Every structure is written in C-alpha cells, then in structure tokens.
Amino acid sequence: MSKQYAKEFSYQELMVTAASRELKNHEVVFVGIGIPQLGALLAQRTHAPDLTLIYESGVVGTQPARLPLSIGDPTLVSGTYGIFNFYETFSMLLQRGFIDVGFIGGAQVDKHGNINSTVIGGYDRPKVRLPGSGGGCEITGLSKRIIIITPHEKRRMVEKVDFITSPGFVDGPGARERVGLDGGPSAVITTMGVLRFDDKSKEMYLCSHHPGLSVDQVKQNTGWDLKVSPNVKTTEPPTVEEIEILRKDLDPQGIFLKKGVT
Amino acid sequence: MAEVMAAAEAVHKFVRDGQLVCFGGFTHAIPFSLGHEMIRQRKKHLTVCKETPDLIVDQLLAAGCVDKLMFSWAGNPGVGSLHAFRRAVEQQVPHPIAIEEYTHFITGARYMAGASGVPFMPVTTSVLASDLAKHSDVFKTIDCPFTGKKICLVKAVNPDVALIHAQRADCDGNTQMWGIVGSNREIAMASRDVVVSVEEIVDSEIVRRDPNRTLIPSFRVKAVVEEPWGAHPSYSQGYYDRDNQYYMDYEKTTRTHEENEKFIENWVLGVSNRQEYMKRLGAERMLSLKTKSYYSTPVDYGYFG
C-alpha cells in the first residue's frame, strides 16, 4: 500500500512527524513536554505501538488518553504501567543506562548540539532567566541517542550557546569522552529541516530541508555557516493519517501546535 | 507520633524564620495550603528547596519570604515563566536572592543522601559537560576507588522542615500516597521536622490494610493537617484535577511586582484559611475539577494471624 501524503500541513506539524519517525518500535524513550511529547505520542499511535514512554515525573509506560499539559499531568498516571519515585527515575532508569532515546527541546541549540535552557546573557546577571536544566542535563548526558526538536530561527540556532545546560558534543570531538560520557545527539529536527552530526567534526549539517524551502533559506535562518550534505534531500511530508491523528486526536485545541515550542 | 492540627498552627509551630524549608510534590500534590499559610504568617529569610518551585514558591518569592532558593527547574509547568522568580534573579525585585541551582538528578540525589544518613551520593559525570559545574560548589569530582573512573559526589541536604501534601494519613501521621510521588519519602526521611497536609484523615485500619501505600511512617511526622483541596491549584490524584486556568491566569496576571502582589492579596492574604480560599474559588469551578472515579482492584495481602 503506498503512502498517502497530506496536501496541506504546517512546518510545525512536519517537525512533529519527522521527529516521530526517528523513533523505532520497542525503544524506551525519555520524553520532554510540548512538541517532543507530540512526536513520541504520534509514533506510539502509528509505527511504534510498543514504545515505552517515560516522563521525568517517574511515569513509565504511559499511554495518555488526553494531551498531557505538563510532565506530571494526572492523565499520565491513568492507565500507565508503572510509577517510579524521583530519585529512582534518574538513577535506575537513566543513569543505569536503560534509556534508548532522549527526546527533548530547548531555547537555544548550537552547532555541536548543546542545549541552553538556563540563561540568555551571563549567568550572574542574566538578560533572560530561563527555567534551568530540569532533567535535561542527564537526559542528554546519559541517553543512548538524543533527538532535539526546536523551531528553526537564527536566535535559537546559534554557533555557541550562552550556557550549556544539556551537553551535546560540547566543543567537538573527544569532549564527551573526556568526562566519561558516551553517545551524543543524533538528530536535530526543526521547522525547516532535519539535521545530523558529522562523525569526525561532531558538527551539525543539513540532511534534508522541508518541502517548499530551499537550502539557502535554511542557511539564512541558521546562526553559523551551516554545512550541507552533498546528498541533501527534501524531508518526507506528513501522511494524511499522521495529520489526522495530530489534529483530531492528540492536540485538537492546538495547545502545543499553535503555541509553538516551550 | 504526629499531632492533628490546623494549617495555621502547624506552620506557626514548625516553620521558623531563617530555616531551610523543603516543599514536596512534583506537579502533583504541591502543598499550596501550607505555603499560603507561610505567606500569611509573614515568614522571613527562608531558604526554600524545591526541584520545581512551581507557583507556590513563586508566590513566596513575590511576598518577600525567601532569601535563598535551591532548585533545578523554575518554570510554570506547561505554561511559561515564573515571573516573581525571574524578577528576583533578573532585577533583584522585591529584594536580591541567592540561588543554588542543580539538575533534577542532583537534587534527587542530594535528598537521597540526606534521607540515607550519608554525607554524599555519587552520580555520573553528565554535569561536568555542562556549564552548571562552573556555578555550583555542591559537588566534587573524584576518581572512583573501585574503577578509577571519574565520578561526581553531591552533598546531602537535610532540611529543617519538609512540607508535604498527600491523599490520606491516619491520626498518628502514617501518610499514604499514590500517583506521582516525587521526592516525598526522601525529603520526609531527610528533614528534621515533617508537616503533612492530606485530603482526608482515615482510620488506622485503612492504612494498616494497605501498608505498601505508606510513604512516610508516623514517627517521622510532627503534624497532620486535614486539608481537603490543600494542593489546589495543583492536583490530587483521584480527588481533583489541576486547575490549569489558575496556572494560565497566574502567568498573565503576575508580570509586574504590583500585579503579583494583587494576586497574592486576592488568593492568599485576603482569605484567612483554605475554607475561605475554596469559597472564593466557588462551587462551580470545584465541580469542574472533580475527576471521574477509576478504582484499582483491591489486592489480597492475606491474613496471617
């Protein structure tokens, strides 16, 4: 059966569907709220019904019946198969190495995949004080793969973040290993394209641009001289089914899809 | 063993100016009623410890009760910013505060060390790859004596008092909880004094028929407060949903210090206790937050008498 692609969709919806496709069935995923959560819930309702979704509130194996508004929403508890306490969640699930994918967003992402959710400006006298790490630092430090989801804007996609809250490849090759960490970010899904990381330089490059956008447009909205894959493609559009699930089932009020990424 | 008392008395007796006060709950079961009582009693110079400060600590900040905040994620969950927190850090309004910032895991590990009676807990080195490491002195890095690999040690926290909300307790203070439990057991075991507010006080027999559900044993609890809706606007699993409208209203109506003070006047200082607060909230809104029952099947512990 050939796929039926949706004729009309937003780049935000495409970001969610592209993120969803990064997840494989049977994986254990540590999920952040907002757009990342929509991607994981979409995967669970389409190609990956046996995903185990874990939220930092300790809920394990959740299949929420309504859209959770926060990482501790009571709908996450209704019908989930387990609940860990706070320390256990981070120690026995994440630190122990049982998380396949960390699936998160961020206010600023840089070319080495570091995420800033702490401050814009200096730490001691910040221009804007953001919420801070939460689970982020250990999610990106300890998950086997990391998928970052963020709107693609010049002020968000920067050469170097103001503050590394959640480490990607830090300043390049060997940096994670120096402090004893494996893994690292594997993809950045934005409103303009799908980006991955060069094995040698650990720098982000454009793998595919979304339909209707040019490589130049993506480069213009990126805060550094973005490298482009010689085989750069157009991102596969959302299917009719995916768009229907997103709009009718997951986020009918457009709480996350209309507001943007938090 | 605990004494049953009103929120005002419990806060008066067990929360003192200048203390290290730890709030329980994690999005679920945040002890708003006990926190509001602290604002009404004009507590001062507190150090507050809460991984997710939520609106309650934001209100304490706006009310000028806090000198120092220990936290790991300071946002309005699912909604946006905590404006009083941001004003305190960005503009030193209403007065400058000290912050001690960690990751969630480090906060949890510090509680666990405090609860376990050891001076520190080892945690993996993720934080060393972040910039947080440059701004905090609560952890040290050593070479593991067994593997030789680098490992971080984070310092125990032992608060003066822990404030916790749960679904039920008996008169002695045996406290039971279900749903998302956060760090409630750890902070109860780590703190010197523990004050618990509950949706209902139940007969000891109910607790003893289901001992696996007990999070905190009575000998650790100083005061039990029967406070239905004591976690509003956060939620209580099985009792009421989160009042998301309140969280969204707070985001919109606390963008200046003056607006924030007005909000606190209306919802905290302008009422004398939780009953008056609930009256202000109104029956219609309360009913809209009530949840449909969804019982678990009773388990058979067997009687081995």
What values do phi and psi take at B119, rounded to 5? -75, -15
- Can you tell me the distance from the alpha carbon of A207 to that of A231, in angstroms, rounded to the nearest whole number? 8
Residues of B in contact with A80 (CB under 8 A): none
pLDDT at A7 > cutoff 70: yes
ipTM of the complex: 0.95
What number is the average pLDDT over the span B179-195? 98
CB nearest B180 (choices: A59, A118, A131) = A59
Q: The tokens of A160 are what?
A: 């170097």
What number is the average pLDDT over the span B159-167? 98
Q: For residue B218, name the pLDDT band (cuts at 50, 70, 90).
A: very high
What number is the average pLDDT over the span B154-179? 98
CB nearest A69 (choices: B78, B109, B132) = B78
- Can you tell me the distance from the alpha carbon of A86 to that of B125, in angstroms, rounded to the nearest whole number? 19
Q: To 10 degrees, what angle do helices B32-40 and B274-281 make?
A: 110
* CB atoms A137 and B127 under 8 Å: yes
Share of chain B above pLDDT 70, in %: 100
Residues of A in contact with B72 (CB under 8 A): 132-134
pLDDT at B86 > cutoff 90: yes
Distance from CA of A68 to the nearest CA of B (A): 9
The domain A11-250 is placed in CATH, from the list 3.40.47.10, 3.40.1080.10, 3.40.190.80, 3.40.50.620, at 3.40.1080.10
What is the fold of B3-101+158-289? Glutaconate Coenzyme A-transferase (3.40.1080)
pLDDT at res. A1: 58
Q: Give start and end residues of each alpha helix (H) in A130-239.
A: 136-142, 175-178, 215-220
pLDDT at res. B139: 86
Residue-averaged pLDDT of chain A: 95
Q: pTM here?
A: 0.96
Residues sharing a CB contact under 8 Å with residue B233, sequence separation 6 or more, in sequence order: B32, B55, B242, B243, B246, B247, B250
Model confidence pLDDT, tens digit, residues B46-64: 999 999 999 999 999 999 9
What number is the average pLDDT over the span A233-252? 96
* CB atoms A142 and B183 under 8 Å: no
CB nearest A132 (choices: B28, B101, B180) = B101
Residue-averaged pLDDT of chain B: 97
Instruction: Provide the number of CB pairs (under 8 Å) joining chain A to chain B.
Output: 178
- Ranges for all domains in chain B classified under CATH 3.40.1080.10: 3-101+158-289
Model confidence pLDDT, tens digit, residues A115-132: 999 999 999 999 999 999
> Would you list the domain boundaries of chain A?
11-250
pLDDT at A261 > cutoff 80: no
pLDDT at res. A244: 97
Interface with chain A: mutation pick from B51, B99, B104, highest number of A CBs within 10 Å = B104
* CB atoms B90 and A166 under 8 Å: no
pLDDT at B258 > cutoff 70: yes
Q: Residue holding tokens 């593991």?
A: B144
Q: To 10 degrees, what angle do helices B7-14 and B32-40 make?
A: 70
pLDDT at A260 > cutoff 80: no
